[in-house]
């Protein structure tokens, strides 16, 4: 098994942490998965998001079961817009939920302060301690949402590729990697189950398309293109990691790679980059792994 001497290229993003709570785990799950759904890549989804972790009642502001969600976007404005859309359409609509800020960030964006207008003049504000909340009347009762959410500079697009002998072992390696990554605080893997099967490259032979399939890593195209799929490798999966800071992403990559390497049949770990010209953050795989020893 080889860790290729290459690097993952990641970008600066803005992130918010949303704490959603509800009457029971079922409704927490419904709200969390809906709010972080269709949020795999900013290119087409507007945001990248995921469940950071599930929270026990004693860990949440209102003593109910909850989830910590991380939502990433390319700018403050985009992030505010996405928070409004996702909290307004996916959390406010979900029975019994409440929504709290989970990040003391560099700046704040107004969320509850804007969503309150849904109350059509019957909304009530409440300040408890130093935090201000809005109570918006809804058919089920009330939706409680915090007025402001903290945002901070974050890192998006940390990644690594798992090159395996077949689909079975590669998928198992990816699952183990995601399991390890989920234990790291401050990161999410925003793709389905944390795994990407359709990694992309910039551009396409078609002028109307900004991104297209990563031909270099498609096993089926090995004889047709300048392939990076070594002999004996028949399946490649990618793990993409977004984190609240560089160190969290580095730690998650290390954990993920270690998890993936524990599966028999994995031939190589590689990473996606753009030659180091586009991203602000470069994660050299061998350096990342050296930190673990």
Footprint of another protein (CB under 8 A): 61-64, 98, 122, 124-129, 133, 135, 141-142, 144
CB 86 within 8 A of CB 219: no
Polymer length in residues for the chain: 293
d(CA 82, CA 39): 10
Q: Which is nearer to another protein, 7 or 100 (CB)?
A: 100
Task: Report the distance separating Cα 20 and Cα 6, nearest Å.
Answer: 38
- Residues in contact with 265: Cβ distance below 8 Å, sequence separation at least 6, in sequence order: 164, 165, 166, 168, 169, 170, 173
Could you tell me the smallest distance in angstroms from the CB atom of residue 143 to another protein?
Answer: 8
**Identity of the residue, 2 or 62, whose beta carbon is nearer to another protein in the bound complex:** 62
The CB-of-62 to another protein minimum distance in angstroms stands at 4
- Measured from the CB of residue 249, what is the shortest distance to another protein in angstroms? 33
Question: Token pair of 206, please?
Answer: 């078609």
CB of 141 to another protein, least distance (A): 5
Residue 203: is it exposed, middle or buried by C-beta count within 10 angstroms (0-12/13-18/19+)? Answer: exposed
From the CB of 51, what's the least distance to another protein, in Å? 21
Complex with another protein: residue 128 or 224, whichever CB lies closer: 128
Tokens representing residue 259 in the block: 């998890």
List the Cα angle 254/196/241 in 5-degree steps: 35
The minimum distance between CB 26 and another protein, in angstroms, equals 17
Q: Nearest approach, Cβ of 142 to another protein (angstroms)? A: 6
What gap in Å lies between CA 11 and CA 6, rounded to an integer? 17
Parallel, antiparallel or unpaired: strands 48-55 and 66-73: antiparallel
What residues are paired with 270 via a beta bridge? 161
By beta-carbon proximity to another protein, the closer residue of 7 and 149 is 149
127 versus 205: smaller Cβ distance to another protein = 127
Q: What is the dihedral of CA 168, 169, 171, 173, to 10 degrees?
A: 160
Q: Kindly write down the DSSP assignment for every residue of 12-78, as one continuous string.
A: EEEEEEEEEE-SSHHHHHHHHHHHTSS-S-HHHHS-EEEEEEEE-GGGSTTSS-EEEEEEEESSHHH
Cβ closer to another protein: 127 or 277? 127
Per DSSP, the three-state class of 3 is strand
Please state the closest distance from residue 54 (CB atom) to another protein, in A. Answer: 18
Q: Smaller CB distance to another protein: residue 133 or 160?
A: 133
Q: Of the two residues 124 and 225, which places its CB atom closer to another protein in the complex?
A: 124
């Amino acid at each position: 098994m080889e860790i290729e001497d290459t690097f993952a290229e990641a970008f600066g993003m803005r992130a918010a942490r949303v704490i959603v709570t509800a009457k029971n785990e079922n409704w927490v799950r419904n709200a969390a998965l809906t709010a972080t759904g269709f949020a795999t890549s900013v290119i087409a989804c507007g945001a990248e998001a995921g469940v950071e972790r599930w929270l026990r009642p004693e860990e949440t502001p209102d003593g109910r079961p909850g989830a910590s969600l991380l939502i990433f976007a390319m700018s403050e404005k985009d992030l505010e817009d996405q928070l409004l859309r996702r909290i307004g359409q996916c959390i406010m609509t979900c029975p019994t939920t409440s929504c709290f800020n989970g990040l003391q960030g560099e700046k704040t964006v107004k969320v509850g302060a804007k969503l309150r207008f849904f109350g059509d003049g019957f909304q009530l504000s409440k300040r408890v301690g130093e935090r201000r909340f809005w109570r918006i009347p809804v058919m089920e009762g009330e939706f409680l949402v915090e007025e402001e959410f903290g945002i901070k500079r974050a890192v998006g697009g940390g990644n690594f590729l798992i090159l395996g002998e077949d689909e079975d072992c590669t998928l198992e390696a990816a699952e183990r990697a995601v399991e390890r990554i989920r234990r790291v605080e401050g990161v999410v893997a925003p793709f389905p189950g944390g795994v990407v099967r359709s990694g992309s490259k910039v551009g396409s032979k078609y002028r109307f398309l900004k991104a297209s399939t990563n031909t270099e890593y498609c096993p089926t195209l090995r004889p047709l293109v300048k392939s990076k799929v070594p002999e004996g490798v028949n399946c490649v999966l990618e793990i993409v990691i977004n984190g609240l800071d560089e160190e969290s992403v580095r730690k998650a990559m290390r954990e993920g790679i270690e998890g993936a390497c524990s599966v028999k049949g994995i031939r190589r770990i590689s990473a996606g980059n753009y030659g180091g010209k586009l991203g602000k953050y470069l994660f050299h795989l061998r350096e990342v792994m050296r930190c673990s020893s």
